[in-house]
């Protein structure tokens, strides 16, 4: 009975961590087809899923064009870390910026930053898809600075670092942000053909082969 109670408590805690993580889908690292993106080292991702980089408060950056599975890998990493007992939070970059702007407007920004600090890892998805206002850029800088050497972040981006001024605007702010992110960062560059583009071609080819021939 004691073993069952301990197992049930562990299961409940896991459910709470997954719920608090606010993951948009149930992607897992085990479901990712690493053979389609040879530039992604499977062993390294599985090691990260054990959480060693969190103890050093390191960051992770997944960089590459759209459609290569960056979001899948990041969600899979986050869920694996939840299974390992860590607290993880998922946010898109746009959602994070909106939350920070609202908190500043309502004079509760320090409280929100403290709330984020309760998580061992904050996942920031789709950084670079949309430019930020000056205020949002400054608040995101505050967010990353607040976590620097305190707690880890993981970021997915489609933009090379040299182009980050396009989304943050101010060169000195962008350079300072990158300095904090890269200093204790593990950078993984994804290369290859878009999954979605490949699947679209496969569906088109399949539809073409399935079309009955017409008599001439």
CA distance 145 to 126: 19
* Confidence (pLDDT) at 123: 98
Question: Over 70: is that where the pLDDT of 204 sits?
Answer: no
Band of residue 97 on the pLDDT scale cut at 50, 70, 90: very high
CA pair distance 136, 27, nearest whole angstrom = 29
Q: Mean of the per-residue pLDDT values for the chain?
A: 89
Instruction: Tell me the pTM.
Output: 0.87
| CA-wise closest residue to 93 among 53, 131, 64, 120 | 131
In sequence order, what DSSP letters do the residues of 174-205 get, joined into one string? Answer: HHHHHHHHHHTEEEEE--S--HHHHHHHHHHH
Contact 62, 191 (CB under 8 A): no
CA end-to-end span of the chain: 76
Residue 26, helix vs strand vs coil: coil
What confidence category does residue 6 fall into, taking pLDDT thresholds of 50, 70 and 90? low
Residues 33-52: pLDDT tens digits? 999 899 999 999 999 999 98
pLDDT of residue 196: 55
Predicted confidence (pLDDT) per residue in 110-139, tens digit = 999 999 999 999 999 999 988 999 999 999
pLDDT reported for residue 4: 72
Contact 89, 22 (CB under 8 A): yes
Predicted local confidence at residue 55, as pLDDT: 93
Per-residue pLDDT, averaged over 65-79, amounts to 95
Band the pLDDT of 200: cuts 50, 70, 90: low
For residues 61-75, give the mean pLDDT: 95
149 conformational bin, left if phi > 0, alpha if psi -120 to 50, beta if neither: left
Asked whether 192 and 39 are in contact (CB, 8 A), the reply is yes
Q: What is the pLDDT of residue 194?
A: 74
Q: Write down the pLDDT at residue 211.
A: 53
């Amino acid at each position: 009975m004691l073993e069952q109670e301990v197992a049930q408590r562990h299961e409940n805690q896991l459910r709470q961590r997954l719920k608090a993580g606010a993951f948009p889908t149930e992607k897992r690292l085990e479901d990712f087809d690493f053979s389609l993106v040879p530039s992604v080292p499977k062993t390294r991702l599985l090691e990260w899923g054990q959480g060693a980089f969190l103890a050093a408060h390191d960051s992770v950056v997944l960089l590459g064009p759209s459609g290569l599975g960056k979001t899948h890998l990041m969600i899979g990493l986050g869920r694996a870390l939840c299974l390992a007992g860590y607290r993880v939070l998922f946010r898109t970059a746009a959602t994070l910026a909106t939350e920070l702007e609202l908190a500043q407007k309502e004079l509760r920004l320090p409280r929100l930053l403290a709330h984020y600090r309760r998580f061992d890892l904050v996942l920031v998805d789709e950084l670079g898809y949309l430019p930020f206002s000056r205020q949002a850029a400054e608040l995101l800088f505050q967010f990353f600075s607040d976590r620097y050497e305190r707690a880890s972040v993981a970021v997915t981006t489609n933009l090379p670092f040299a182009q980050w001024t396009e989304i943050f605007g101010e060169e000195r702010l962008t350079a300072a942000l990158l300095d904090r992110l890269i200093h204790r960062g593990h950078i993984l560059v994804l290369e290859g053909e878009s999954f979605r583009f490949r699947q679209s071609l496969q569906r088109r080819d399949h539809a073409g082969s399935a079309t009955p021939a017409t008599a001439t």
